[in-house]
Amino acid sequence: MSWTDLAVNGRILVVDDAMENVQILYGALQDEHEVLFALSGDKALEIARAQLPDLILLDAMMPGKDGYAVCAELRQAAETRDIPVIFITALKSPEDETRALAAGAADFITKPVNAAVVRARVRTQLTVKRQADALRALSLTDGLTGVANRRAFDERLDTEWRRCARARQPMSLILVDIDHFKLYNDHYGHQAGDASLKLAAKAMRLAAGRPQDLVARYGGEEFAVLLPQVSAQGAERVALKLLAELEAMAIPHEAAPPPGRLTVSMGIASVVPGQHSSAVELVQAADAGLYDAKAAGRNCYRTGAD
């Protein structure tokens, strides 16, 4: 089985301060899953935030930050709160199991571990997570265009803001508005208007094609393109590519001023997140740029003050 296949089957993070325990769990899981490991609570949190595993096998009793504290921190962060955790511990009392479940654990396995039991419990939790992920994806998708909806954008903006702040990396936002969309609906009808929204969303996905980029329907004919780890110059390249994609599509818009095809106006904002800035200010700056683009004649982009 290839490394890619292992990743598809599930990325597992094993956390235990004893390397011999890590090796036992690794041996039980390596044939079916991609296995990461950490020997401390702090390292586990670092890996969880960076690698976003599908499941965490977590030792309850560790020096320093124990499993209960690690689980509590995982549950507090938006990017890690949905990762299921199975506690692995030598503690066997009902009170210990209750404490683990109260901390947010999905399951509880006692040491010494049985490899067959571990594999079965892991498969069960991964199946449950995939079902939950599928339902969640539906709730975060715009039904018309197939891109993310406003709720998904708000959640992802918060997550990426925190991640870029920790890494001290830039992030950019492009707010996109379809030019003269009311005129388009009035001239061609609402079904044609819906079709044009789908095409515009497709053009945005082509322009922002990295896995970490997010295209979302922000409201009506307005969209948002979130670009983590992208500077202002990179965002401008995405904006130019979007203009080129729409020009190539040549969607007729006879009711609009020249060039007589569907176009967009865009506002760009970029910042390195920090304690003196906020995600709200990033959105406001992009909105200011969008206003300037419309004032400049549309079918263009402008950069807002950030």
Identify the CATH number of the domain in which residue 93 sits: 3.40.50.2300
Q: For residue range 158-195, list pLDDT tens digits in order.
A: 989 988 998 899 999 999 999 999 999 999 999 999 99
Q: Are 217 and 128 contained in the same domain?
A: no
Residues 177 and 114 grouped into a single domain: no
CATH of the domain at 255: 3.30.70.270
Residue 202 lies in a domain: yes
Q: Which of 80, 105, 139 is the last residue of a domain?
A: 139
Share the mean pLDDT of the chain. 91
pLDDT exceeds 90 at position 57 = yes
Q: How far apart are CA 251 and CA 298, in angstroms?
A: 16
Q: What are phi and psi of 302, to 5 degrees?
A: -140, 150
| Average pLDDT, integer, range 45-50 | 93
Q: What is the pLDDT of residues 250-305, one digit of tens each?
A: 999 999 988 899 999 999 999 999 877 899 999 999 999 999 999 999 999 999 86
**Nearest in space to 201 (alpha carbons), one of 257, 258, 141:** 141
Q: Given 139, 169, 195, which residue is the final one in a domain?
A: 139
Whether residue 178 sits in one domain with residue 93:
no
Q: Which helix (H) or strand (E) holds 266?
A: strand 264-271
Q: Are residues 161 and 249 in the same domain?
A: yes
Tens-place pLDDT, residues 109-145: 888 889 999 999 999 999 999 998 888 888 999 999 9
- Ramachandran category for residue 35: left, alpha or beta (phi over 0 → left; psi -120 to 50 → alpha): beta
Say if 21 falls within a structural domain: yes
- Domain that residue 87 falls in: 3-139
Percentage of the chain surpassing pLDDT 90? Answer: 75
Check whether residue 225 and residue 132 sit in a common domain.
no
Last-in-domain residue among 114, 139, 164: 139
Residue ranges with strand state E in 7-162: 11-15, 34-38, 55-59, 85-89, 107-110
| Domain-embedded: residue 145 | no
- Indicate if 77 and 127 belong to the same structural domain: yes
Side-chain-side CA neighbours of 168 within 13 Å: the count stands at: 0
For helices 41-51 and 67-76, the axis angle rounded to 10 degrees is: 30
- Residue 200 burial (C-beta neighbours within 10 Å; 0-12, 13-18, 19+): buried
Residue 144 domain-assigned (yes or no)? no
- Could you tell me if 76 and 195 lie in one domain? no
**Inter-residue contact 158 to 202 (CB < 8 Å):** no
Tracing tokens 């609402």 back to the chain, one arrives at 190
Q: Are residues 156 and 93 in the same domain?
A: no
Residue 70 forms part of a structural domain: yes
Residues 278 and 157 in one domain: yes
Query: Are residues 54 and 23 both part of a single domain?
Result: yes
The residue-averaged pLDDT of 17-24 equals: 93
Q: Is residue 50 part of a domain?
A: yes
CA distances from 188 to 196, 261, 302 (A): 10, 13, 29
Position 172 in a domain:
yes
**Domain match, 294 and 159 both:** yes
88 and 178 assigned to the same domain: no
297: left (phi over 0), alpha (psi -120 to 50) or beta: left
Which pLDDT score, from 0 to 100, does residue 6 have?
Answer: 46
Q: What is the pTM of this model?
A: 0.71
* CA-based end-to-end distance of the chain: 48
Asked if 68 and 60 touch (Cβ cutoff 8 Å), the reply is yes
Q: Which amino acid is at 18?
A: A
| Domains: count for the chain | 2
Cα–Cα distance measured from residue 278 to residue 286, given in angstroms and rounded to the nearest whole number: 13
